[in-house]
Amino acid sequence: MTLIEAVEQAKRDGVEIAHVGIFDLFGTFRERRLRIDDVVNVMDGGGTFVNVLPQWDAGEQVFGSGPFVGESVNIDPESIRPYPFESNACLMIAEYTGASAPFSARGLVKQLVEKAETLGFGVRAAIESEFIVLNEDAASLRENGFGVMDTFAKDNRCWAGESAAIQADFVSELHDTLAGGGLDLLSLSGELGPGCFESTLRVTDPVRAAEDHLLLKMYTKAFCRRHGLTASFMAQLGSGFPGLSQHPHVSLTDQNSGEPAFQSSDDGTLKAPLRQFVAGMTVLMPDAMALTHHNPNAYRRHAPGNWAPKSVSWARQNYSAAIRVVTEPAERRRVEYRLPGADANPLLNLAFVLGAGLWGVENEATLPAEFEGGGPDVTPEGAASLPHDLYVAADRLDRCKVAREIWGAEFIDHYLAAIRAEEAALRKEASAAERARYLEVV
């Protein structure tokens, strides 16, 4: 379908307004609002969007150098979705096609899906994630200096039926809003701790899966703000909050037969290519952790006591492992990557999983011993350690020659500049907890 055909179909469906935008490197949707009649003229065959987006950090400060000019973009006709906050409106996703194209996480995932196809595999993916809802609005957060925060649903208990009944109106209204944005939810329910909820989207193709989750985050945050609340996807909101995760699920199919390519024997032993795919992830996890942990806060989730992996590990079914391999039932056999936090760009998460996994298949990587422990702080004996902060993670990614082979030298070099700017922005900051502990003592 061409953009012209997609726009004509949207007009027949009653669409009058289009929200046209690009996801930046860390997953924020940057948009322009246009009348549907103007979309083709403005954005197709010569349309531009200022190329500052790949050069912005999370605080919207430029870390790169100009010139900053209008750069050619293309709208993906397959990306059109309904827009839930405005009648007779849709949302369209575009991407740069000029000099900024190599910096696109979306483009990276598309390239890796194409690579999987050349190896004879189709790819399917789904994303689940947690978020916390605060009983705060934009004004109250700023009045308190983003300090002590009041939680919504203070009596929420993990998966408790009573909590679900109490919050039924909130959850069902949010669910309807997300569905109104074209998002196909498998579940939306309470999770661990006050104000904590979890969403799971149904399986689809990888780019769609990642962008559906990015839109779920955007719509959830907007929904909550419109109700005087705040939704947070920070990996670690504070010491009194649970760490929040985002787990990409990935499976491969045989392109010839359509059957699952991930197979295991009757005793559960992983067969190739599943064994090699998981092995590739374990090899590259320590050096490429910065791809899935792109801000300083992401590393705080891996503190002791949190249900977050602390080292390189894999296991069948085991929720304590960094890589959980789901072997049964056979038709849903998949790899779940449990290392990333809820703050991560899911396009980058999938880029890591696919890039590292396919590298393992191509290089027949060797699988380490399976993790058989349990609990959030148990680590396998002899397991490779993970970087504890973004500074170290960036240096490890920089030194990893394989990373440039898999994800491209141009992307990696640009990404390193972005995350180093992000790390430097907070390096001198001290928290209230640090001042309370050290100010009068040292």
Please give, one letter per residue, the 3-state secondary structure of the chain: CCHHHHHHHHHHCCCCEEEEEEECCCCCEEEEEEEHHHHHHHHCCCCEEECCHHHECCCCCECCCCCCCEEEEEECHHHCEECCCCCCEEEEEEEECCCCHHHCHHHHHHHHHHHHHHCCEEEEEEEEEEEEEECCCHHHHHHCCCCCCCECCCCCCCCCHHHHHHCHHHHHHHHHHHHHCCCCEEEEEECCCCCEEEEEECCECHHHHHHHHHHHHHHHHHHHHHCCCEEECCCCCCCCCCCCEEEEEEEEEECCCCCECCCECCCCCECCCHHHHHHHHHHHCCCCHHHHCCCHHHHHHHCCCCCCCCECCEEECCCCCCEEEECCCHHHCEEEECCCECCCCHHHHHHHHHHHHHHHHHCCCCCCCCCCCCCCCCCCCCCCECCCCHHHHHHHHHHCHHHHHHHCHHHHHHHHHHHHHHHHHHCCCCCHHHHHHHCCCC
**Are 207 and 112 within 8 A, CB to CB?**
no
**pTM of the predicted protein model:** 0.96
385 by Cβ neighbours in 10 Å (0-12 / 13-18 / 19+) ranks as: exposed
**CB-CB neighbours of 9 under 10 Å:** 13
Identify whether the C-beta of residue 281 lies closer than 8 Å to the C-beta of residue 358. Answer: no
- What Cα–Cα distance (Å) separates residue 245 from each residue in 254, 297, 306, 402? 30, 12, 10, 27
Cβ atoms of residues 376 and 306 within 8 Å: yes
For 305-364, write each residue's pLDDT tens digit.
Answer: 898 999 999 999 999 999 999 988 888 899 999 999 999 999 999 999 999 999 999 999
pLDDT at 45: 64
| Confidence tier at 75 by pLDDT (50, 70, 90) | very high
Provide the 10 A C-beta neighbour count for residue 58. 18
**In sequence order, which residues have a C-beta less than 8 Å from that of residue 371 and are 6 or more positions away?**
313, 314, 315, 318, 320, 321, 380, 383
Number of Cβ atoms within 10 Å of the Cβ of 24: 22
Residue 432's pLDDT band (boundaries 50, 70, 90)? confident
| pLDDT tens, position by position, 369-416 | 999 877 778 888 888 889 999 999 999 999 999 999 999 999 999 999
Round the CA-based radius of gyration of the chain to a whole number and report it: 22
Q: Which residues pair with 189 in a beta bridge?
A: 198
Cβ within 8 Å of residue 208, ≥6 positions away? none
Q: Which domains does the chain have, with CATH numbers?
A: 3-103 (3.10.20.70), 111-438 (3.30.590.10)
pLDDT tens digits along 260-287: 999 988 777 899 999 999 999 999 999 9
pLDDT of residue 193: 87
- Using alpha carbons, select from 76, 72, 66 the residue that is nearest to residue 101: 72
Which pLDDT tens digit goes with each residue over 183-234? 999 999 999 889 999 999 999 999 999 999 999 999 999 999 999 999 999 9
Q: How many CA atoms lie within 13 A of 296 on its CB side?
A: 14
Predicted confidence (pLDDT) per residue in 87-134, tens digit: 999 999 999 999 999 999 999 999 999 999 999 999 999 999 999 999
Name which of 210, 251, 220 is nearest 128 in CA terms.
Answer: 210
141-180 per-position pLDDT tens digit: 999 999 889 999 999 998 889 999 999 999 999 999 999 9
Give the model's confidence band at 46: pLDDT under 50 very low, under 70 low, under 90 confident, else very high.
low
* Pairwise CA distance, residues 231 & 178, whole Å: 14
Residue with tokens 């209204």: 173
Q: What is the mean pLDDT of the chain?
A: 94
Give strand pairing partners of 49. 71
